[in-house]
Amino acid sequence: MDEIKLSDDVIEQIKDFEYGKLTEEQESLTDKLITDKELKERYKNYGLCKKCKQPNTYNYYCRSCNSQYFKQNFNNWTSGNHDVDEFIQKVQLKARHAVYTIEWIEYDKFEDVEYLAKGGFGTTFKAVWKDGCIEDWDENNQLIIRGETKKVALKCLHNSQDITADFLKEVESNVTVYNTGCIVRCFGITKDPKTNNFMIVMELKNGGLRQHLNNNFISLNWDHKLYSLFDIAIGLQDIHDKGLIHQDFHCGNILSNFDQGTFITDLGLCQPANVKSSQNSNKKIYGVLPYVAPEVLRGKEYTQASDIYGYGIIAYEICTGFPPYYDIAHDEFLTMKICNGLRPKSNYRIPQLIFDIINQCWDADPLKRPNASELRELIFRLVRDIHLKKVDSVIYGQVKEADEINKKLSFSSPLISTGTISYTTNPQAVYTSRLLDFKNLPEPKNADNNDDLLGIEYSDSLKMDFTKLNIKSENENN
């Protein structure tokens, strides 16, 4: 279908208007002349393109002109795979701004390629992109604007020599949900000439959230923690607002620039919220056990509420510093306890208003969990009061009380001197996504008393005594 455009007559009447400062008379005339809702919003928000005079799709960005620029370049590159080429071209033609497009990037455009990490579905490398990414559009000269050389992550999916729909779906999900900057941006696709594996080119962040908590938790105040929770809530809302589910929402898929932002990544399992397993060829449950909602463990559909459950576990992890159930086996016994209402527990004090939100997120009944929009608003109110130092607010008083209690937990001197958390991870505690196949699990419920579910082998983990935090970590990777 051809794109709807303004007629020459309409353009002639509005071309000299200052689109951001329309008078009442100009506003009335614009409403009368531009009947298409999208065109009207684009004109009022972004004005007219200097070249084609059609409404921009973003600040100083015209999709119509840019699509022509990309089309002219289609014959100058190829991935060697028709599906990949077609996919990249489609994204470029639909992009409403430079940051929403992707490119085919030849592998020789990268230097200093180094192994970074391995996850459940792929291996990640870091590299320097010599050309730098597309950052903007010069509407005067009709040229794309690139930044300087850029550090990037190259994510290689296992066995991707023959490109799969799942690979392209992950790229598409990243492009679709990228909005507020709380999702890791995807720049394009490349291919390793040695292995012939396709790779997703993405933003490189300073490290994983788990690494950040391990190294810096002692120095993090509640302002820092709440901002991390807020960033994640924003990113999750970006995903849910597009009608998608993350489906693999755990701490390992949260990256951090430490004091400069927290970001969601790895949308490989992301899918539309209205797709049922009967419509999806992959009916198996993959995930990291402690973060998977109990109804999903029992075989029910993933939903956006399932992501909210994972958010609750991540939030608790940010607030207390420790991975959930880190020193017990992630096995069927733990799965049954979770369905019976078991949740992570420690002596570390969390301000009650924050804990109330966490408790809502991991409610056994998905219908009682907040949605992403509500979650974002709940966290925002707390962030605002803490950041503005509203001493008369409830959360400010609770934070002060929590800090005083936590100081009395007698952190050991090694922790004070190094600022890091030390803990021993059970060899059967698995924090990468894997197949979860448990049978005959009980109907999920909330526990009246979390302590009642704690067997002897569970009590040390779930009722952590913070006076014993000088235990040496035996598994830094987890």
Residue by residue, pLDDT tens for the chain (478 residues) are 467 889 999 999 998 898 888 899 999 999 999 999 999 999 999 999 888 899 999 888 888 888 888 999 999 999 999 999 999 999 999 998 888 899 999 999 999 999 988 866 678 999 999 999 988 877 776 678 888 899 999 998 766 556 667 788 889 999 999 988 899 999 999 999 988 889 999 999 999 999 999 999 888 999 999 999 999 999 999 999 999 999 999 999 999 998 789 999 988 776 776 656 544 445 678 899 999 999 999 999 999 999 999 999 999 999 999 999 998 999 999 999 999 999 998 888 999 999 999 999 999 999 999 999 999 999 999 999 999 999 999 999 999 999 988 887 755 434 444 557 778 899 999 998 888 988 889 999 998 776 655 543 444 444 444 444 433 333 443 3
Query: How far is the CA of 107 from the CAs of 114, 127, 129, 180, 189, in angstroms?
Result: 13, 10, 9, 29, 9
Query: How far is the CA of 21 from the CAs of 16, 44, 444, in angstroms?
Result: 12, 9, 55
Q: Using CB atoms within 10 A of its CB, is residue 255 exposed (0-12), middle (13-18) or buried (19+)?
A: buried
How far apart are alpha carbons 115 and 297 in whole angstroms?
33
- On whether the CB atoms of residues 211 and 476 are closer than 8 A, the answer is no
The C-alpha angle with vertex 428 and arms to 423 and 433, in degrees rounded to 5, equals: 100
How far apart are alpha carbons 60 and 98 in whole angstroms?
10
The fold of the 67-203 domain, in CATH, is Phosphorylase Kinase; domain 1 (3.30.200)
Residues shown for the chain:
478
How far apart are alpha carbons 135 and 133 in whole angstroms?
6
Q: Which residues of 320-350 are buried (b: 16+ CB within 10 A; e: fewer)?
A: bbbbbbbbbebebebbbbbbbbbbbbbebbb
Cβ neighbours for 37, distance < 8 A, ≥ 6 positions apart: none
CA atoms within 13 A on the CB side of 192: 20
Residues carrying CATH 1.10.510.10, the chain = 208-468
CB count, 10 Å around CB of 192? Answer: 17
pLDDT of 410? 53
pLDDT of 259? 76
pLDDT of 406? 86
| Residue 61 amino acid letter | Y
Paired residues of 109 in beta bridges: none
Cβ neighbours for 82, distance < 8 A, ≥ 6 positions apart: none
pLDDT of 89? 96
The number of angstroms, rounded, from the C-alpha of 7 to the middle of its chain's C-alpha atoms is 41
User: H/E/C letters for each residue in 194-246?
Assistant: CCCCEEEEEECCCEEHHHHHHHHHHHCCHHHHHHHHHHHHHHHHHHHHCCEEC
pLDDT of 280? 47
How far apart are alpha carbons 122 and 189 in whole angstroms?
15
pLDDT of 51? 87
Tokens (6 digits) for 307? 């992501």
- On whether the CB atoms of residues 3 and 55 are closer than 8 A, the answer is no
Query: What's 208-468's CATH class?
Result: mainly alpha
Residues carrying CATH 3.30.200.20, the chain = 67-203
